[in-house]
Amino acid sequence: MAVMSGLSIGQLAAKAELSASTLLYYESVGLLPAPERKNGQRRYDECLQKINNTGAC
């Protein structure tokens, strides 16, 4: 089984102490870039540092 790189939306939400729906909202209004998708799942990479510093990616 292949290991997926990047964080799932749930993992990113937990690390950023936000809800997944907040991250989806940020994405919809352009505060987060559209993430890469693997097997239909969003995979976030370097956004966490930016979210912690600015509240957006």
Backbone angles phi and psi of 50, in degrees to 5: -70, -40
Residue 54 is predicted with a pLDDT of: 60
- Give dist(CA 9, CA 44) in Å, integer: 7
- Give dist(CA 30, CA 5) in Å, integer: 23
> Is the model more confident about 18 or about 3?
18
What is the rounded average pLDDT of the residues 28-55? 79
- Give dist(CA 33, CA 48) in Å, integer: 12
Q: What's the pTM?
A: 0.72
| Per-residue pLDDT tens digits for 8-31 | 999 988 888 889 999 999 889 988
- Give dist(CA 9, CA 43) in Å, integer: 7
